[in-house]
Amino acid sequence: MNGGGVRSDDEEPPVPSPCISLCVMDAARRYCKGCLRTIGEITAWGALSNDEKREVIAQLATRR
């Protein structure tokens, strides 16, 4: 941790993937039926910052 008590994204543990290993795309809604992410969100996941991952996760509830 840095001296100011604020953790940088590099020091913060990674946000876990919402994947539940039910990887089936819903063609009509264009979301994975398991985790509700789009194919773009799934493929970009590893490169996203923790803040971006949290933004994606926040959107998943509205997709149910």
The reported pLDDT for the residue numbered 7 is: 57
The reported pLDDT for the residue numbered 6 is: 59
32 exposure class (CB count in 10 Å sphere: 0-12, 13-18, 19+): buried
The total number of structural domains in the chain stands at: 1
> Is residue 64 a part of any domain in this protein?
yes
Q: Which domain holds residue 47?
A: 39-64
> Is residue 20 a part of any domain in this protein?
no
The reported pLDDT for the residue numbered 8 is: 57
> Is residue 44 a part of any domain in this protein?
yes
Q: What tens digit of pLDDT does each residue of 8-57 get?
A: 556 889 999 999 999 999 999 999 999 999 999 999 999 999 999 999 99
The reported pLDDT for the residue numbered 3 is: 55
